[in-house]
Amino acid sequence: MKYTHLGRSGLSVSRLCLGTMNFGPHTAEADSHAIMDQAHDAGLNFFDTANAYGGKGRLGWTEEIIGRWIAQGGGRRERTVLATKLYGDMVDWPNNGKLSALNIRRALDASLKRLQTDYIDLYQFHHVDRGTPWDEIWQAIDVAVTQGKILYAGSSNFAGWHIAAAQEAAARRPVTGLVSEQSIYNLMERSVEREVIPAAEHCGLGLLPWSPLHGGLLGGVLQKHDDGVRRLEGRAADAVAKSRDAIAAFEAFAAELGHPPGDVALAWLLHQPAVTAPIIGPRTAAQLDAGLRALEVSLDEASLARLDEIFPGPKTAPEDYAW
């Protein structure tokens, strides 16, 4: 396994992050525990979850599954860089969502209880809260850090200017501020290259891409459809219809390289300088093995250029829309 620092922090994390959103709703608890053990066996030390994971009516379920895995001992907690998130309403009552100081305190204590641990390595804001000032947010985070309940803070789904505003407010206190940003980023969805990635790089944040295979569309969807393995319905069918030529070219190029399309898509992210660790969310042990294969895929400059031709991304702002 290869490791790198999380943004400008001194924290060492694996180049892949284990996403756990499927644990509970789509993957049974015993299988989820086995996948986490398998991840450790492969050297993967970075796990991501959220307080809202578990599905409608079961919010917090995924954290509970992870907590029972941690409670088995055997160095599971000590070997894991554990990341979770808060933002969404956990109950239908005021002050049980978003980023007020009160909810940060409540949500953090609830996550610690579900996860059966006394600290979170990376506590992430799942979305920007336009109604809470950054001075209040950082005051609450500073208290949590002082109490030893969290070590680092990160953002998710932020715009570039949100990152800049957060870091400017943190510098005034002064506190460490954000060390990571979790955004949707893959060959088919490259909007973050316009302003989010430049902001993250300037402020020293590591990028944690979610949906690295764009909902499976970069995982060989056309071949799987032709083989009868996957049906195309709803939004997936619409997305394939819109980008069929590009997806077909990508799958053909992956075959030319001698790798499955999903491995190439993950490897492309690993070759992007702003990326710390793509988040892979396996439902099965076999899917985790498939994600790990991408660490062995090397793409030369010609291959990277060809992928840019197939799925061109935006220019950095303002050149993307101005001179």
Burial (Cβ within 10 Å: 0-12, 13-18, ≥19) of residue 174? exposed
Q: How many CB atoms lie within 10 A of CB 306?
A: 16
Any catalytic annotation for residue 53?
Answer: yes
> Cα–Cα–Cα angle for 267, 271, 276, nearest 5°?
95
Q: Catalytic: which of 3, 53, 87, 152?
A: 53
Q: Residue 47: name the closest of 73, 22, 72, 27 by CA.
A: 22
The first and second tokens of residue 217, run together, are 């569309």
Say how far apart CA 136 and CA 143 lie, in whole Å. 11
Say how far apart CA 238 and CA 101 lie, in whole Å. 41
Q: How many CB atoms lie within 10 A of CB 199?
A: 21
Secondary structure (DSSP) of 177-235:
-EEEEEEE-SSS--GGGTTHHHHHHHHTPEEEEE-TTTTTTTSSHHHHHHTTS----HH
User: 3-class SS at 148?
Assistant: coil
Are 238 and 183 contacting, i.e. CB atoms less than 8 angstroms apart? no
Residues known to be catalytic: 53
